[in-house]
Structure 1
């Protein structure tokens, strides 16, 4: 306590007042002087004990804060009976809990970032290895037809890498919160047609039948471009799943609670073990031969949920997979 300059000044002032009061008391009579000395001594003792207790409490809080600054695993600040210190301790406890939660969140983010970087490196290594092998074959392949096939395969690999990097960039922008979605009225029929347009030729080449049942008058609220991107990822997943001679059915229904878009394909559906993880990043299923990068559905869910919608995926009772997107009214 004596290290506190204000306390030393108060102690000096109290001593001077006590001496002056005792002197004045003795000038009156001895009893008055003794009573003054006893009163000032009692008051000084009570004040010293009270102040020391407060300083001890403050020192304890200071020690606990120091532990927090040094990343202590356990923190406990006891309750105080004093009003001022009780409020102070309550606020410090809230602050330390918030700091701990933020530290835990930062650790999880660092771990997630490290895992994501490892996954990205793995995803890029696969096509790069294939490209390196194809380039080696090109050097030793004199036949022009074979060289043409190898060059087309190389172009396809570069297209896949470009799609992967573009999707990862979009995910990173969404995670960083720098994407601002437009809130506009969207005609669902036009939205579906826009999302389908890039796949019409591939679907025709693979003889994939398409059935669309989307009324022209149904409207939803959202960002047209980003929702088109999300639905395109669903179509891409379905086309890759069903292969040749398959079928895709798109239905949109509207009711007073929500608007629902369902996409049903005739593929093999999902493995039961994969259902809880379909929308996780880089998840490609238990099958070692699974295609894709595990990015499209994760990007799709992020886009839809950020605009207040929901998306689910499951196996259809009649076979194949079915995706359901809902936008509440």
Structure 2
């Protein structure tokens, strides 16, 4: 459709130029004819007057009568009766008439060729721009492909830009996935290496001096490996989108209480308690079990940084946009350089205590974000670290 439209425009342009050229040629030719006839009539009248001076007044009267249309023109030209034709008096006019006609035709053809050349030049320029852009893409240094006008190449340009953008995004995602895979593989190998080394040492020591202490050490390391395996499998299911998460109405206070109850033994050993403010019923759309799992990981992190005899505090609030849960401790807070990396997998801060593998907060972040939520961490003004979890209504 676009090609037909352009062809119609081009044809109309050529016809317009041709008509213009013919009009100008006709105007010039008409003006030339008028001057030629005037000159010829003047010469004839002059010759008549020279031979018959008394006929001057008669000639002038006839010319005036002819000018004002008072003369009865005979039906048959008298010159034809004496054997004279139009070509006898208009020889030069006919010659110039052919010249002007040929000039008008050549002008129309020339304008047509110039139009075609300009049109072809424009197409070549557009092809050159697209070709240079694709060459830059192949060299890996492409930018934005700017639109240069609406023409036959506009749709092609848009499709090329879409394909290139999608390929860039795919390439970036593949590079990122490759880097993440390599990093995760290194971290997993590092995490497995420690318990395997510990188990190997315990086995050697048991051969030399069997004791229950070595057996307990082996059990702890096996439990650690089992926990790592479960966490990695869960993260892989979240990444692949195969983890089934329920969407049901869950009371925030109930989730916090259940999470604290499941950690009661661990908190008791650390001599840390949990303070949960009861602020009434507030509902969120989430999966009870997995949301509780995410909050438990946050509570354990706060517990590890809370001095003995102190408390981990929990509160929550709701507005038309989201429901927010705040969990904070009374410890020394996060190191500034650790805050941007707290939710990265296998990251352990400088002040990290215990034998954690640095995957709990990453798991919490993945579970919360999979349920239309966010989690952030910051230091409080006075002291302590604070986690803010938001579940959005829409």
Q: Paired residues, what number?
A: 295
Whole-Å separation in 2 of the counterparts to 1:206 and 1:100: 51
Counterpart position of 1:166: 230
1:225 CA displacement: 1.7
Please, what TM-score do these two structures have when normalized by structure 2?
0.63
Q: 1:81 to 1:294 in 2, by over 3 A?
A: same
Matches within 5 A, 1:15-164: 49=117, 53=121, 56=124, 60=128, 63=131, 67=135, 70=138, 72-74=140-142, 83-142=151-210, 147-164=211-228
CA contact (8 A) 1:64 1:77 kept: no
Matches within 5 A, 1:165-314: 165-215=229-279, 217-242=281-306, 244-255=308-319, 257-287=321-351, 291-314=355-378
Whole-Å separation in 2 of the counterparts to 1:321 and 1:291: 20
CA contact (8 A) 1:284 1:291 kept: no
The superposition leaves residues 139-192 of structure 1 with CA deviations (integer Å, 9 ceiling, x where unpaired) of 1114xxxx2112112211111221122112222222222334322100223212
Q: Which one has a bigger Cα radius of gyration?
A: 2
SS of match in other structure, 1:83: coil
Q: 1:261 to 1:148 in 2, by over 3 A?
A: same
SS of match in other structure, 2:337: helix
SS of match in other structure, 1:273: coil
1:260 CA displacement: 2.8
SS of match in other structure, 1:272: coil
1:287 CA displacement: 4.5
Counterpart position of 2:380: 316
The superposition leaves residues 226-256 of structure 1 with CA deviations (integer Å, 9 ceiling, x where unpaired) of 2111001112212333364442222333455
Calculate the aligned-residue CA RMSD, in Å: 3.5
Q: 1:317 to 1:43 in 2, by over 3 A?
A: closer
More moved, 50-59 vs 282-291: 50-59
List gaps (5 residues or longer) in structure 1. Answer: 1-33
Q: 1:241 to 1:153 in 2, by over 3 A?
A: farther
List gaps (5 residues or longer) in structure 2. Answer: 1-101
More moved, 76-85 vs 133-142: 76-85
Q: 1:218 to 1:123 in 2, by over 3 A?
A: same
